[in-house]
Structure formats: structure tokens, C-alpha cells
Amino acid sequence: MLTTGVWAGASLCSRAWSGAATAPPKRLALLNLHTAERLEIEYFRDNAYVSDALAAIETLLRDFRSGEKHSIDPKLLDYLVDVAAHFGAPAAFSVISGYRSPDSNERLRARSSGVSQHSLHTQGRAIDVRMSGVDCADLAAQALDLKRGGVGYYRASNFVHLDTGGIRSWRG
């Protein structure tokens, strides 16, 4: 037991000596508009993503049509937190669409020209959101300034698409 304590102490000291900074925790609040499920969770702490939190987010962002789940790109979550920070607001979003199964994506694509055949929603790398108190045009503009991926602004439907693919923008 003493040996374990000595090694743990040495590990902490070496981290302090190395000058490694601890990144602040990251939190998200999400409301799935199709299921009315809410989640407020710390998904990043002690310089690491929290696996239980990522699993809870995966459940909330599942394909509401089929119930199918898929891992969600943590960089997408960071994107949400960072765009909210530009407004000085907590990262609290209403979710229109998170993960979509390939079957759901194909059904939507058959009904709408605005759905990509190779949508990043099917890879857990895209989300459609709005933020209370923030105009979607402003949300899209701030997201685009971050240069993290795709940004689509859908004025008529009042939401913004964010993804971790290539940097590009469009209006729907």
C-alpha cells in the first residue's frame, strides 16, 4: 500500500513539474425535441472525456425513429461548448437531429433534397440545433468563425447544422 501511495504521489508531482495544465471541465445541456428527454452533464474532466457521460449523450442523440445508437464525435460536443462560449452563455441546446441511421437518412433523403446521401449524421459527426435566446443566424455565424467544420443555416426551419467534417457553409 505504501508503494502505491509513493508511486501515486510521484505521478502527481511529475505532472506538476512537467507544467501540464489541467483543462477546465466541459458541460452540456441538451433537450431532444422529438423525445422530450433532457440531459445536463459534465462530459470532460481531468483532461479526459467521461465515458459514462458520452454514453448518456449517445443515448439522448440516438435516432429517434429507430432507437439505433451510435458513438458521437467528442469534437462535435466541444464545438457546441465553444460556440456557446462566444455568446457568454452555457452550452444549452435544443436538438432537432443527432445521429441518424443510414435507413432513416435514406428515407429523409427520398423526401427532401436538403439531406445528403453521405450525411455526417450517420457517423455521429453532425447535429442540428438551436439555442434559446440566440438567433440562429448569429449562431451559424459564430460557428462558422470557429472554422471547425460544416455549418448549415436553415432559416425557415429555425435551426443550425454543425458537423466536424470539412469547413464549408450553406443555407437551406
Q: Quick: pLDDT tens for 104-137.
A: 989 988 887 678 878 999 999 999 999 999 999 9
Longest alpha-carbon distance in the chain:
66
Collapse the DSSP code of 52 into the 3-class scheme (helix H, G, I; strand E, B; otherwise coil) and give the result: helix
SS3 96: strand
Average pLDDT, the chain: 89
- What does the pLDDT read at residue 9? 43
Q: Which of the four pLDDT bands, split at 50, 70 and 90, describes residue 100?
A: very high
Instruction: Determine the pLDDT at residue 125.
Output: 98
- Rounded mean pLDDT, 70-76: 98
Give me the pLDDT at residue 115, please.
Answer: 80
Q: Which of 29, 25, 27 is nearest to 37 (CA)?
A: 29
Contact in structure between 37 and 63 (CB atoms under 8 Å): no
Q: Which three cell numbers stand for residue 129?
A: 440545433
Provide CATH code, domain 22-171: 3.30.1380.10
- The structure's pTM equals 0.85
User: Helical H runs in the chain?
Assistant: 2-18, 51-60, 74-86, 102-111, 136-146
Model confidence at 11, in pLDDT bands (50, 70, 90)?
very low
Q: pLDDT digit string (tens) for 132-141?
A: 999 999 999 9
